[in-house]
Amino acid sequence: MRLLSKSNISTAEDEDRPCVCPTIAYHTLPGSMYLAAKNGELDEVRQYLQAGNDINAADGDGYTLLSSACVGGQLALVRYLHQQPYLHRNTRDWAGDTPLMHAAMMGHTDVVYELMTTPHPCRLNVKSVNDYNESALTLAISNEYTEVSNIIKSVQLPQMPAPEKFAEKKSLVKAKGYLDVKFECQVCLECYNNNERRPRSLSCGHTFCTKCINETLIRGSLRCPFCRSEHTPTVTVASDVPVNFIVDSIIQEQLL
């Protein structure tokens, strides 16, 4: 796989400047992967990238995995993509729209906040305008998404993480753990613990940490980020979701 040049990523010397992302994609994103990203199919996207495919590949309309996830409002997938250092976040589609513009015009408040507050080597260009001279802010305002526009106006972009710190992030290809059990939440990619990251199992069988489940409940009904199944019975707080005691017992032993 041919990676994009590191020279296109912001450096410490110009960390206050937006990343100048490539205007031409080196690889084509299959239509199936556009739909997978738009629908939040995290496992399918992970397998696609683990196979060595370009994270910045774009389809015929210029949509990348990130922009597709932003169209669909897929917070878990956006968080996963943010873990990858060669992700470009200011790419443009056929109309000049960036991922941030897509999230803003669709009113995906949590995704906009994630884009605005996550440190990444590719510094976000908040002031970028599309071919119709519209920015993420004006798109949010014209669509009457007040909360989104307030975030864009008030949130100060974080400083770019130090290269050595970002290198500690999880790699695209993860080693299989003991008994093939994953000891990290596959939404936030943080390790489980016995507090806010305690593992809990949804009715579909997928497991996530308590904090991510709570964040999902704030936005409405509890749906699995992987298979999109709605959790039953209806719950209002993460503590009502049963603990995954298989994973939890191993975590407790590790914490002793």
pLDDT at residue number 227: 75
Separation between Cα atoms, residue 136 and residue 127, nearest integer Å: 7
Q: Where are the beta strands (DSSP E) in the chain?
A: 199-201, 207-209
Q: Tell me, what's the pLDDT at 254?
A: 62
**Looking at residue 215, what is its pLDDT?**
87
pLDDT score, position 173: 39
Q: How many CA atoms lie within 13 A of 7 on its CB side?
A: 1
Q: Report the pLDDT value the prediction gives residue 25, as an integer from 0 to 100.
A: 82
128 with 232, same domain?
no
**What local confidence, expressed as pLDDT, does residue 22 receive?**
84
Give the relative orientation of helices 65-72 and 99-106 as an angle to the nearest 10 degrees: 10
Q: What is the C-alpha end-to-end distance of the chain, expressed in Å?
A: 42
198 and 89 housed in the same domain: no
Query: What's the confidence (pLDDT) of residue 117?
Result: 92
Question: Residue 169 falls within a domain, yes or no?
Answer: no
Print the domain residue range for 36. 6-164
Please report the pLDDT score of residue 166 as a whole number. 52
Same domain assignment for residues 45 and 101 = yes
- If asked whether residues 56 and 118 sit together in one domain, one would say yes
Considering only CA atoms, which of 109, 104, 51, 49 is closest in space to residue 82? 49
Weakly modelled stretches of the chain, pLDDT under 50: 1-14, 167-181
- CB within 8 A of 149, min separation 6: which ones? 104, 137, 140, 141
Query: Using omega within 30 degrees of 0 as the cis cutoff, is the peptide bond preceding 233 cis?
Result: yes
Q: Give the residue from 164, 192, 216 where a domain finishes.
A: 164
Q: What local confidence, expressed as pLDDT, does residue 57 receive?
A: 94
188 in the same domain as 122: no
- What is the number of structural domains in the chain? 2
7-10 long-range contacts, CB within 8 A, separation 24+: 8/88, 9/85, 9/86, 9/121, 9/122, 10/121, 10/122, 10/123, 10/160
| pTM for this entry | 0.65
